[in-house]
Structure 1
Amino acid sequence: MVNYAYLIGDSITRECVLVDPAYAVDDLVRIAQEDGMTITGVLASHYHPDHVGGSMMGHTIEGVSALLENHHVPIHVNTNEAPWVLRTTGVSESDLCQHSAGDTIMVGNIEVTMVHTPGHTPGSQCFLAHGCLVSGDTLFLEGCGRTDLPGSDPSLMYESLNMLAQLPDSTIVFPGHAYSTPPDMLLSDVKATNYVFKPKTREDWMAWFGGAG
């Protein structure tokens, strides 16, 4: 399981946010600093430790709690995900900036839209900026996030995927894991090749993915 972490930044103002900085936090900070960027926040796609840090399969992942030791920046989460993030990471509620679907933040002059996509977790969210979608564990280039975990809901995943499918075909999808060879792909190609878009009704979807997505 290889995770992706992302940096969304403004090349003019030199401000940036880190997306899902769970592993190698010091390396992510170093990369941002070497590029002359100032980290102004964290975007958390969901609460799982491999995305925000915490305990997982007997291992401790440093994540956002380690980042906040030297960089006191807000962690942007969906309001439905906030309690889960608090339990997983041990950060304080005051460290979180809670959002609803459709909220936006500015990273320099770049507008980032919070796209609430429940299914994998109650408050899973994707991030849309400049025609790019950072899709977390909601949508992979092949497959989607599991729907048999605590807080998962396969019916909501069906709705979330259908909502994402309505974005422009020219949208570039950047997933949360390297489960396929290319690191990113046009949404039009994802819809054409990803098996999660084959079911055309909720009933068909539930028959295929009612247990695990």
Structure 2
Amino acid sequence: MILHQIRVGDIGNFNYLIGCPDTRRAAVVDPAWEPRKLLDLAAREGLTITHILVTHCHHDHVQATGAVKEVTGAAIHIHEAEAPYLKHFFPPPADVAMHDGDVVKVGNLAVRWLHTPGHSPGSSCLWVEDALITADTLFVNSIGRTDFPGSEPEEMFRSIQRLKRLPDHLTVYPGHHYGPTPTTTLGEQKRLNPFWRPDTLEAFLALTQPDNDIL
């Protein structure tokens, strides 16, 4: 698998380029701010962008979807719970509404869609081989905010419990560079992330009040 993490913009956003080395087909994840970086990198790698995968529709994760689609013609995929919101930000609308457990085939790569609400109603993680793109559900040693319109702390707690059940060796690729390193592993987060320590919803809610340092 080809996987590039590209830092863009002024708030530490990460865009991702996922490529199949056999077919040279590729997907971009959450294109925003500097789409030329994604497009130029794909060209240098000899990759054809066929998919745009959107983990959630906050402005800083969808701002360049239209620009990338205009150049590539790639289909925009987003979870069904998030799709209605996309049209309120930037055209074009989603081409494919995804559901939990769906698989997107990018060449010979299978990208599994995991619905992990909490930060937003349709927030999702993308699991491909040994990589887990967690966007704004999970950062390095932190989690996404749950005080936005559409956010639900209770859903975030349930999403964390789900991620805890995934293999420790998976490399986590977050949506922002907010931690000490750009990536981590699920095993490290189980040990180090303070927001993953509560075992009950009540303890989690006590920790995630606005006066806590949650990103």
- Deviation, 1:210, is 4.8
Match in the other structure for 2:76: 75
Distance 2:120 2:95 in 1: 18
- Deviation, 1:181, is 2.5
Q: Which amino acid aligns with 2:204?
A: W
Match in the other structure for 1:31: 41
Q: Which amino acid aligns with 2:169?
A: S
Among candidates 3, 9, 22, match of residue 12 of structure 1: 22
Can you list the C-alpha shifts for 1:64-112, whole angstroms capped at 9, x where unaligned? 11112222111110000001111111213xx421011000011111100
5+ residue gaps, structure 1: 54-62
RMSD: 1.2
1:82 and 1:96 in contact (8 A); partners too: no
* Count of matched residue pairs: 202
1:45 and 1:126 in contact (8 A); partners too: yes
1:154 and 1:210 in contact (8 A); partners too: no
1:194 maps to 2:204:
no
1:115 and 1:126 in contact (8 A); partners too: yes
- Deviation, 1:207, is 1.4
Can you list the C-alpha shifts for 1:5-46, whole angstroms capped at 9, x where unaligned? 111111111010000111211221010011000000111010
Distance 1:12 1:122 in 2: 35
Match in the other structure for 1:85: 86
Match in the other structure for 2:4: none
Structure of greater relative contact order (alpha carbons < 8 Å, 6+ residues apart)? 1
Identity over aligned pairs, percent: 38
Distance 2:149 2:89 in 1: 13
5 Å-filtered alignment, 1:1-213, equals 1-53=11-63, 63-92=64-93, 95-211=94-210, 213=214
TM, length-normalised to structure 1: 0.92
5+ residue gaps, structure 2: 1-10
Distance 2:91 2:44 in 1: 29
TM, length-normalised to structure 2: 0.91
Can you list the C-alpha shifts for 1:143-179, whole angstroms capped at 9, x where unaligned? 1010000110000000001101110011110100001
- Deviation, 1:2, is 0.4
Give the ranges of 4+ consecutive aligned residues of structure 1 lying more than 2 Å apart after TM superposition. Answer: 210-213
